[in-house]
Amino acid sequence: MNSLGIGMTSARTRQRMVDRLRDRGIIDERVLEAMAQVPRHLFVDEALAQRAYEDNALPIKFGQTISQPYVVARMTEEVIKSQHAKKVLELGTGSGYQAAVLGQLIDEVFSIERIDKLTRSARRLFIKLGYLNIRCKTGDGFQGWPSEALFDVIICTAAPEKIPFSLLDQLHVGGKMILPVGDNKKQKLVAIVKEPHGYQEEVLGDVIFVPLLQGVVR
């Protein structure tokens, strides 16, 4: 597939997506530029490439989805609000699109995916596109990545029913965890900041993500 894109997958189409994001309130130009640079059509099935720059979630393999561009941009804005966000952990690699956008902005991105075939597919794409600052592995997101902790930000692209507070142990003090929380009917996007003796929690809005599940699928 053409990495630069043609027709409905071209840079011009990608720029129209960015213009819509700006109209919806995404104001950080660093995020908008990152969204303009990442070829989203490579992160979806080829049959759906012509729809890649619509502001919709799209299905990928194994019952998973690639998040809608607005949600990716909104979560990325929240990540880089942390002025010292140089090392980020993502739970739920999926297609790899969110990690690729973060890879434009963050020094080190670590990403965990429970479905091994998705991990392998995303890794090949990261290599193809030259993202040398992204590392991914197959694992249980609820366990995090202890050997690489501590992180500045943890971002979750699938929704646990309850906040996994144990993951706060893998954050620096002052670090932030951004995640959707809830069941398949109602979810909130939440930002939790780790403090020396507790945490602060902020609700960012309503979202809908696939569930964050335990275990690994080989």
Reported as a single tens digit per residue, the pLDDT across 143-200 is 999 999 999 999 999 999 999 999 999 999 999 999 999 998 899 999 999 999 999 9
Tokens of 58: 């799209």
- Predicted pLDDT of residue 2: 45
* pLDDT reading at 8 higher than 90: no
Instruction: Give mean pLDDT, residues 192-212.
Output: 94
> Strand 171-182 vs strand 187-195: parallel, antiparallel, or unpaired?
antiparallel
pLDDT tens digits along 10-32: 889 999 999 999 999 999 999 99
CB atoms within 10 A of CB 132: 9
Domain boundaries, the chain: 7-207
Please report the beta strands in 118-164, taking only residues with DSSP state E, as ranges in sequence order: 134-138, 151-156
The dihedral through the CA atoms of 43, 212, 90, 31 has a sign that is positive
CA 176 from centroid of its chain's CA atoms: 14
Please give the DSSP secondary-structure letter assigned to residue 64: -
* pLDDT reading at 128 higher than 90: yes
- For domain 7-207, the CATH class is alpha beta
Catalytic residue status for 67: yes
> Strand 171-182 vs strand 198-207: parallel, antiparallel, or unpaired?
unpaired
Contact present, 164 and 178 (Cβ < 8 Å): no
How is the beta sheet containing 187-195 ordered, strand by strand?
134-138, 108-113, 87-91, 151-156, 171-182, 187-195, 198-207
- Predicted pLDDT of residue 7: 58
Q: CA 182, CA 8: separation in Å to the nearest integer?
A: 35
* pLDDT reading at 5 higher than 70: no
* pLDDT reading at 4 higher than 70: no
Residue whose C-alpha is closest to residue 39's, from 155, 129, 136: 129
Q: CA 76, CA 63: separation in Å to the nearest integer?
A: 24
**67, 95, 111, 121: which is the annotated catalytic residue?**
67
Q: What is the CA radius of gyration of the chain?
A: 16
Please give the DSSP secondary-structure letter assigned to residue 159: B
> CA-based diameter of the chain, in Å?
53
Q: CA 112, CA 120: separation in Å to the nearest integer?
A: 11
